[in-house]
């Protein structure tokens, strides 16, 4: 029996809650250490950092108990997060849209959880006639205020699903680096994607990394540039998903770059 998409959504939203709890627990630990003027001079939250946390001692036993309770809470949140990730991966083969999830992982910055989030919250791309329609649905298009003959551009509308929009922006941050197909994309789940999907993914990398560099060179803030990249990334996601829904679609020749909208008044890269 096909897996109900609502179950995937519930698992993904539970995963989001666990991720938020983990971030908050880590912040509490760092705040506790800061109050006691204790600092770590390396990369935090690695295995070495966790060993360093276990070695911390405090003068009074109540301080030690309070610190250990914070560490325990962080470990519990991390464990819940790992369990939910494993459950999402385990149930994906039962899902009718599993092929879309696999194909989307060929895109840079889009791993299993991100792809599952996008597909679970949006559903079939057949509901959207164009990339612009999907961009507007996700709140990644710029708003405007019109009064008489005056038009003032605003930031993105932030309408639509927050989880999907956040996942897209997180994926777009990977486009700060030069275009490259990493080992995870070659040997991981993305290797199961059809060749045409990987071709679109490479085309997306080249275009989006150039888009980010161009916006930053113009003086745009990195956050604004990444938002623009996330919006255009939606177009490539639409192209791949629609190609699976309709194998005869001309996803490569009629790419999303010709249907891009604008972010904060910046035109799409020509």
Read off the pLDDT of residues 48-88 as tens digits, 9 standing for 90 and up: 999 999 999 999 999 999 999 999 999 999 999 999 988 88
Q: Which one is predicted more confidently, 178 or 91?
A: 178
Q: Token match 């809470």: residue?
A: 73
Concatenating the DSSP letter of every residue in 50-87 gives: HHHHHT---SSHHHHHHHHHHHHHHHHHHHHHHHHHHH
Between strands 150-156 and 142-147, the pairing is antiparallel
For the cut 60, the answer to whether the pLDDT of residue 4 exceeds it is no
Range 91-104 average pLDDT: 87
pLDDT of residue 246: 62
In angstroms, rounded to a whole number, what is the distance separating the alpha carbons of residues 89 and 112? 7
């Amino acid at each position: 029996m096909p897996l109900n998409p609502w179950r995937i959504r519930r698992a993904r939203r539970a995963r989001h809650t666990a991720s938020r709890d983990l971030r908050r627990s880590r912040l509490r630990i760092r705040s506790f250490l800061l109050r006691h003027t204790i600092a770590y001079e390396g990369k935090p939250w690695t295995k070495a950092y966790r060993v360093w946390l276990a070695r911390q001692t405090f003068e009074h036993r109540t301080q030690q108990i309070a610190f250990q309770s914070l560490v325990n809470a962080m470990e519990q949140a991390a464990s819940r997060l790992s369990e939910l990730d494993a459950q999402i991966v385990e149930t994906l083969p039962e899902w009718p849209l599993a092929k879309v999830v696999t194909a989307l992982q060929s895109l840079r910055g889009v791993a299993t959880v991100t792809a599952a989030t996008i597909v679970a919250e949006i559903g079939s791309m057949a509901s959207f006639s164009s990339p612009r329609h999907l961009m507007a649905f996700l709140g990644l298009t710029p708003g405007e205020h019109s009064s008489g003959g005056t038009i003032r551009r605003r930031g993105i509308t932030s309408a639509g699903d927050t989880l999907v929009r956040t996942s897209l922006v997180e994926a777009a941050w990977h486009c700060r680096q030069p275009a490259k197909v990493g080992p995870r994309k070659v040997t991981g789940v993305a290797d199961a994607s059809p060749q045409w999907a990987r071709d679109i993914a490479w085309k997306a990398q080249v275009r989006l990394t150039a888009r980010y560099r161009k916006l930053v060179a113009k003086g745009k803030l990195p956050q604004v540039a990444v938002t623009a990249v996330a919006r255009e990334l939606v177009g490539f996601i639409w192209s791949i998903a629609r190609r699976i829904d309709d194998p005869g679609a001309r996803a490569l020749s009629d790419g999303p770059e010709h249907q891009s909208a604008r972010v904060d008044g910046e035109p799409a890269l020509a």
